[in-house]
Structure 1
Amino acid sequence: MRTVDAAGLPIGDDHPPRIMGVLNVSQESPYDPSVYDDPGEAAEYVDTELIGEGADIVDIGLESANKKFEVLSAEQELDRLETALQTIDSVSGDAVFSIETRYHEVAEAALNGGFDMVNDICGFADPMMPDVCAEYDVAVGKMASPPDLERPGAVEDVDDIYEALFQNGLTDKTIVDPAFGGWSEEKTLKDDRETFRRLREFRAIGQPILVSINRKNFLRELADRSTEEALPVSLAATSMAVERGAHVVRTHDVAETRDAALVGNEFARERVRDETVEELDVTTVREATRHLTNTESSPDSGSTVSRLFALDVPAPARQSLTDAARNTAAITADTGEKVLLGGPVSTLLELTERVRDPPALADALDGVREGCR
């Protein structure tokens, strides 16, 4: 996993999760507490509510990307940039300042005016964006999006999101964002939940991961909460996201999100990692497949990921399974009430196909097969 330097702020596995606070200078933005059009008031908000509460990065948006609103042109965004530039000039606290945009012209003007980082909500749909970011040697958040400057984020399937993050390449300082939220009519809450469930797969890209899940609909629906009531579900998801490999969390609730991220980081899986060895964060076959896909040998991921199951079956069935597993890569242990079955996924799948008697064992092995998918 690459460590990205964002204006002196290291982002990656060997560093604490970074909190990205949000300021909007667009009246269309849906979260009123973060919206300001007066630079002085905006700077005070940044100093007290963002940096003062623990934000490492301040992300300033010039427009709302909500699908209900018309997309601004680069010229219209540039008209609003002056407010953002005046704001960061008036901030007394120390943070990395990120400009949220989709246009390379806006990114370049912002970087020339004092911004440190770019947050591209169209995922390099503007093909000149990576060149600008590389030229200025800045970190850039790259949100999964179709190659369309008119409408970002309309990517539903997790596999398509993964591929979208590669469009027009990656810079050395790219931070990938799988894009949660209602960016399009096509993307459903179920799509978001599946993306969150499979978040570890994006670690295979090898770049730090940014998530923006604060008070999002796919979490609110689970607890039947309004936006105002959705902080608890956001914090629960934040800890889970960091535990699953997220490095930057974008939020309107800085202090609370910081604490939740620290909990997730503290209890993340411990992995071997030194100058020569990095144990990859892999818990499923699909995660392993992501890492193996681009290797020259492309070994069977089923032979590299193991599972362990407890089967509650009668004694004769436990003995049959023990006999069938003998001389394979699978392991069994009879506890007297259940039999433990473990081993590489490919071996377990082979057993589920070969062992079909007695029926009670066959039924249990069907469950094993489901768990190996």
Structure 2
Amino acid sequence: MRTVEIGDMPVGDGHPPRVMGVLNMSVESNYDPSVHGGVSEAVRHVEEEMVPEGADIIDIGLQSANPKNDWLPEEVERDRLAKALAVVDEVDADVAFSIETRYAGVAEEAIQGGFDLVNDVCGFADPEMPKVCEEYDVPVVKMASPPDIKKPGHLKSIDDIFEALERGGFTDKTIIDPAFGGWYDERTYEDNWEMFRRLREFRAFGRPILTATNREDFLGDLAGRPETEDQLPVSLAAATMEVERGAHIIRTHDVAATKDVVQVAHALGDERSIRDDEPRVVELRNVSERELGRTLSLRENATGREPSSTLCFQVDGLDEATEAALRTWADRHSLALAIDPGADALLVGTTGELRDAVADADADGGVDDRDREPLAPILETVRSALDRRGSAD
């Protein structure tokens, strides 16, 4: 999993989940408490409420992405950007600022004015967007959308969403957003529920994940809460599950409550590794067949068959020697291996396959001497996982 730096704040596995608070400069936005059209009012709200409540990022929106509202041209966003830039300039607080836009020209002006992150709600529908972000070396959120500047998020199935995220590629500092919500009439609550259940599959991209499900009707419906003002509890329940399933940024209108739940979810959830100078290995539990299939299909550096009844391990901090040793060992024992160069590797096998592979490595001559040291931390973690499983294959 790649780590992306937003300013000096790392985002990714092993780092605390970040809370992105919403500040809208657009009067047409559908959630009134997030609308702060005046500069002084917005500055006060950020300094006295959002930052003390725990916001790590302030996402300033210049127009609503809700399909109930009309699309606005770039000129309108540019006019509103002047106020957003004044807010960034006047806020005296340690917080990162994100600009929500769909236009590369607006993004460039915002970056020049001090914004730390671009939140592209049209997923590179403007083909200049990734070029601008790369030129300024600024991270960008790519929200799953069709290649249409007027239709952010207008996708139905999870396969459509994966296809949209793949389209146009990524920058080195791309964060992905699956785009939950009721984007158009054909996107049903059932579609969103299915996507939520399969959220872990988006980890196949090997990039940090942003989720934005705060006060969404598809959650409220599950608890019989159709009104937006009654949907905080269901939003918090969802945020907890999002962190557990691999989300790294939680976008919300309710900063204080969301901060509390994501801290608990992070502290008590599955451990994920932080890349450093040495290989770090962590067992990934509850990995579905579909999630494995996504990862193996998306990475060019994937070898081995897709097994059933598996153990799954993420290996971070690969140097050349470790990568070469891991490839040789996995190939010798027909273990599935998917490597994202410069990021991590996913190692997969059945308990029987892994037990045989570890036994071979432990035997004299089972592993070349030059490979024994690089493989040691990997073998140790696999061995511990097999010990927990007991003798049954």
TM-score category (smaller protein): 0.7 to 0.9
Query: Helix, strand or coil for the counterpart of 1:301?
Result: coil
> What is the aligned partner in structure 2 of residue 256 from structure 1?
257
Deviation at 1:271, TM superposition (A): 5.0
Classify 1:298/1:188 alpha carbon distance in 2 versus 1 (closer, same or farther; 3 Å): farther
In structure 2, runs of 5+ residues without a counterpart are 313-348, 354-393
Equivalenced residue count is 312
What is the CA–CA distance in structure 1 between the aligned matches of 2:283 and 2:295, rounded to whole Å?
A: 9
> What is the aligned partner in structure 2 of residue 268 from structure 1?
269
What is the CA–CA distance in structure 1 between the aligned matches of 2:57 and 2:76, rounded to whole Å?
A: 25
Measured against aligned partners, the alpha-carbon deviations of 1:279-335 in whole angstroms (never above 9, x if no partner) come to 46461101111121134555332346269xxxxxxxxxxxxxxxxxxxxxxxxxxxx
- The answer to whether the Cα contact below 8 Å between 1:292 and 1:299 also exists between their aligned partners in 2 is no
Alignment equivalent of 1:301, drawn from 306, 309, 314 = 306
User: Which residues of 2 match residues 235-246 of structure 1 at below 5 A?
Assistant: 235-246=236-247
Deviation at 1:113, TM superposition (A): 1.3
Classify 1:95/1:298 alpha carbon distance in 2 versus 1 (closer, same or farther; 3 Å): same
What is the CA–CA distance in structure 2 between the aligned matches of 1:116 and 1:25, rounded to whole Å?
A: 18
- The answer to whether the Cα contact below 8 Å between 2:289 and 2:308 also exists between their aligned partners in 1 is no
What is the CA–CA distance in structure 1 between the aligned matches of 2:284 and 2:176, rounded to whole Å?
A: 17
What is the CA–CA distance in structure 1 between the aligned matches of 2:289 and 2:95, rounded to whole Å?
A: 39
Measured against aligned partners, the alpha-carbon deviations of 1:145-195 in whole angstroms (never above 9, x if no partner) come to 011111110111112211211221101111100001122222111111111
Residue 196 (1) aligns with residue 200 (2): no
> What is the aligned partner in structure 2 of residue 108 from structure 1?
108
> What is the aligned partner in structure 2 of residue 120 from structure 1?
120
What is the CA–CA distance in structure 1 between the aligned matches of 2:6 and 2:229, rounded to whole Å?
A: 32
What is the CA–CA distance in structure 2 between the aligned matches of 1:304 and 1:117, rounded to whole Å?
A: 40
What is the CA–CA distance in structure 1 between the aligned matches of 2:178 and 2:282, rounded to whole Å?
A: 23
For 1:291, give the aligned amino acid: T
For 2:154, give the aligned amino acid: A
Alignment equivalent of 2:292, drawn from 269, 272, 288 = 288
Larger radius of gyration: 1
Query: Helix, strand or coil for the counterpart of 1:182?
Result: coil
For 1:41, give the aligned amino acid: E
- The answer to whether the Cα contact below 8 Å between 2:13 and 2:272 also exists between their aligned partners in 1 is no
Measured against aligned partners, the alpha-carbon deviations of 1:35-61 in whole angstroms (never above 9, x if no partner) come to 011100011011122112100000000
What is the CA–CA distance in structure 2 between the aligned matches of 1:273 and 1:84, rounded to whole Å?
A: 34
What is the CA–CA distance in structure 2 between the aligned matches of 1:270 and 1:130, rounded to whole Å?
A: 32
For 1:216, give the aligned amino acid: E
Query: Helix, strand or coil for the counterpart of 1:19?
Result: strand
- The answer to whether the Cα contact below 8 Å between 2:140 and 2:173 also exists between their aligned partners in 1 is yes
Deviation at 1:90, TM superposition (A): 1.8
> What is the aligned partner in structure 1 of residue 186 from structure 2?
186
Query: Helix, strand or coil for the counterpart of 1:99?
Result: strand
User: Which residues of 2 match residues 352-363 of structure 1 at below 5 A?
Assistant: none
Q: TM-score with structure 2 length normalisation?
A: 0.76
> What is the aligned partner in structure 1 of residue 82 from structure 2?
82
Classify 1:280/1:62 alpha carbon distance in 2 versus 1 (closer, same or farther; 3 Å): farther
What is the CA–CA distance in structure 2 between the aligned matches of 1:219 and 1:19, rounded to whole Å?
A: 19
- The answer to whether the Cα contact below 8 Å between 1:17 and 1:246 also exists between their aligned partners in 2 is yes
What is the CA–CA distance in structure 2 between the aligned matches of 1:295 and 1:111, rounded to whole Å?
A: 33
Q: Percent identity?
A: 55
Query: Helix, strand or coil for the counterpart of 1:184?
Result: coil
Query: Helix, strand or coil for the counterpart of 1:98?
Result: strand
Residue 154 (1) aligns with residue 158 (2): no
- The answer to whether the Cα contact below 8 Å between 1:235 and 1:260 also exists between their aligned partners in 2 is yes
Q: CA RMSD in A?
A: 2.1
User: Which residues of 2 match residues 312-323 of structure 1 at below 5 A?
Assistant: none
Deviation at 1:277, TM superposition (A): 4.0
For 2:150, give the aligned amino acid: E
> What is the aligned partner in structure 2 of residue 15 from structure 1?
15
Deviation at 1:254, TM superposition (A): 0.4
- The answer to whether the Cα contact below 8 Å between 2:14 and 2:273 also exists between their aligned partners in 1 is no
Classify 1:297/1:48 alpha carbon distance in 2 versus 1 (closer, same or farther; 3 Å): closer
What is the CA–CA distance in structure 2 between the aligned matches of 1:280 and 1:184, rounded to whole Å?
A: 38
- The answer to whether the Cα contact below 8 Å between 2:239 and 2:258 also exists between their aligned partners in 1 is yes
- The answer to whether the Cα contact below 8 Å between 1:2 and 1:12 also exists between their aligned partners in 2 is yes
Q: TM-score with structure 1 length normalisation?
A: 0.79
Residue 177 (1) aligns with residue 182 (2): no
> What is the aligned partner in structure 2 of residue 141 from structure 1?
141
> What is the aligned partner in structure 1 of residue 248 from structure 2?
247
- The answer to whether the Cα contact below 8 Å between 2:273 and 2:282 also exists between their aligned partners in 1 is yes
What is the CA–CA distance in structure 1 between the aligned matches of 2:206 and 2:248, rounded to whole Å?
A: 12
- The answer to whether the Cα contact below 8 Å between 1:215 and 1:230 also exists between their aligned partners in 2 is yes
For 2:57, give the aligned amino acid: I
- The answer to whether the Cα contact below 8 Å between 1:200 and 1:281 also exists between their aligned partners in 2 is no
**Segment of structure 1 superposing worse, 154-163 or 196-205:** 154-163
- The answer to whether the Cα contact below 8 Å between 2:19 and 2:255 also exists between their aligned partners in 1 is yes
What is the CA–CA distance in structure 1 between the aligned matches of 2:27 and 2:272, rounded to whole Å?
A: 45
What is the CA–CA distance in structure 2 between the aligned matches of 1:36 and 1:270, rounded to whole Å?
A: 38
Deviation at 1:261, TM superposition (A): 0.6
- The answer to whether the Cα contact below 8 Å between 2:3 and 2:208 also exists between their aligned partners in 1 is yes
User: Which residues of 2 match residues 198-217 of structure 1 at below 5 A?
Assistant: 198-217=198-217
What is the CA–CA distance in structure 1 between the aligned matches of 2:43 and 2:29, rounded to whole Å?
A: 18
Deviation at 1:70, TM superposition (A): 1.4
> What is the aligned partner in structure 2 of residue 329 from structure 1?
none
Query: Helix, strand or coil for the counterpart of 1:228?
Result: helix
